[in-house]
A and B are shown apart, each in its own frame.
Chain A
C-alpha cells in the first residue's frame, strides 16, 4: 500500500522525510524494488565498456575522438563508422541468407543446393549471382512511371535499413539507443511496404499492381496484431527501450520473457506468424505469388534494383527475428549466464559483450532459418485466408493473450521465479522526486540506479 503513495501525483515536494519508507514495496507486495535489476544493472555496468555504455556505443567512440578532433568532426566520424557497419551488416546478411536459403531449400527438398561455386559448399554462389545481376541490363517498361520505378527499390531497402538504427546487438552496442526503440522499429518496418507498393504501381503491369495491392492490404492489416504482440513484453518490462528489455532478461534462460508465463509463450507463436506475414514471407508471400502473378510486384524488375528488393527482404527478416530474440529470448543474454561469473575487467567485459553479440546474431539467424524452413514446408495461402488469419485469429488471440499477460503480471509481479523486474517498476522509480531518490540511496547504501530520465525541468547527471 505504501508503494501506491509513490505514484507521482501523490508526491509532495515539501513532504517531511519521515514519510519516506525505507524499503519500497511492489504492488504485489513481495519483491523489493530493483533488487534484482539493480544488481543486474551493476553487473551490466561492470561487464561492459564502463560507465557510459548505457548511452550507446556512439558516445564512447565520439568521446574518444573528441580528444583529437573538434566535437562536430568527432561525431561525424562516429556516425559514419556506425552507418558503414550497419550497411555492411545488412548487405552481408543479405548475401549470406540468399546462399543459406538455397542450401536450406535444397536440404528440405532432399537436394544439395549450390555445390560448385567457391568450393564444395558453393558459398560463393551469391557473389556470383550478385555479379550476374550487376552486369544485367537495366530494363524499364514503356508504360512505367520511370521516376517511381527507379526509386521504389531504394525506398524499400532504406526502410529496412533504417530499422537497424535502433537494434541493439549487445548491451550498449546500438547505433542509436532510443527510448522508443520497439516502436521505432515497427514503424520503420511498416515503411518498407511503400517500396513494394510504388514498385507495383510504377511497373505499369497489372500483375505488379495486384501484387502491390495485396501487399498493402496484408501489411497494413498485420501491423495490428504484430503491435499487440510486441506490446506485451514492453508492458512486462515497463519500457520500450530494447536494451533495457534485454537486460531485464539477464541470467538463466527462465528469465526470458517467453517463459515469463504461459501467455507470453503462446504469444510468441502469434508474433512469429504476424512477423512472417509482415515481411511477406511464405506462406504469406502473396505479393510475389509466381503461380498466379508472374512474380508479383517485382515482375518487371531486373538487375541491381531487383537485388535491392532481395536485400531489403532479408534485412527485414533479420530485423523481425532480432526483435523476437530481444523481446522474447533475452537478446544477448544466453540460456546460461556465462559472462556473469567472469572477473570484472574491461577486456573481459568487452569479450563478454562480443560473445553476447554473437549470441544475439545466432538467435537472429536461427529465426531466419526457421522462416526459410517454413517457406519450403508450407504451401502458400489464398489472400482471403491471409486476411482471415489476421483479423479472425491473430488479432483476437493477441488481444486475449495480452489481457492474460497483464493480469498475470499483476498477480505475480515477480514472474514465476519471483526474481524478475516488477511491471511499471521503472516508471515509478524514474519519477520519484529527486530528494526521495537521494534518501533511498542513502538508506540502501548504494547510489541510485543509473537512469537518463530526469524530473522535468532539471537534468540529473549520470553520477
Chain B
C-alpha cells in the first residue's frame, strides 16, 4: 500500500528505463538471431525514450520549471521515427542476408572478420 501511496518521481522512470536498456543490450549481445538483435535495439531505444520523457515531464517534478520541457517529448518523437526507419532498413538487410545465406544467424555474417 505505502508503495502505491507515494507520488512517482523521475527516478522511478529512470530505473525502468535502465532495466529495459540493459535487457536490450544483453539481448543484443546474446541473441544469435538477427531479428532478436533488432528487438534488443528496440528495447534499448525505448529505455532511452523513457528517460527523455521522464526528464521532460512536469508531472514527475516537484518544481515543474526545472524540467527540460517539451524537448524531451520532441526528442522522443524523433527517436521513435528514426527507430522505425532503422527497423525498416535493418529488416531489409536481414532479408537480403537471408536470401543470400539462407540464415539469419549473425554469427555467420563474419566475412569481414580480421
Contact = CB atoms under 8 A, between A and B. Distances in A.
Contacts of B69: 456
B6 to A, nearest CB: 13
A457 B58 CA distance: 9
A456 B64 CA distance: 10
A457 B67 CA distance: 10
B64 to A, nearest CB: 6
B88 to A, nearest CB: 11
B112 interface: no
Contacts of A456: 69
Contacts of B65: 457
Contacts, number: 3
Q: Which DSSP category, helix, strand, loop or mixed, fits chain A's interface?
A: loop
Contacts of B64: 457
Interface string B62-73: 001100010000
Contacts of A457: 64-65
Interface in B48-70: 64-65, 69
Nearest to A458: B64
A75 to B, nearest CB: 13
A457 B69 CA distance: 9
A187 B18 CA distance: 26
Nearest to B69: A456
Interface string A450-463: 00000011000000
B68 to A, nearest CB: 12
Interface in A410-463: 456-457
A319 to B, nearest CB: 24
Interface in B35-91: 64-65, 69
A456 B68 CA distance: 12
A456 B69 CA distance: 9
A320 B9 CA distance: 38
A246 B69 CA distance: 31
Interface of B: 64-65, 69
3 contacts: A456-B69, A457-B64, A457-B65
Q: What are the 3 tightest A-B residue pairs by CB atom distance, in nearest-first order?
A: A457-B65, A457-B64, A456-B69
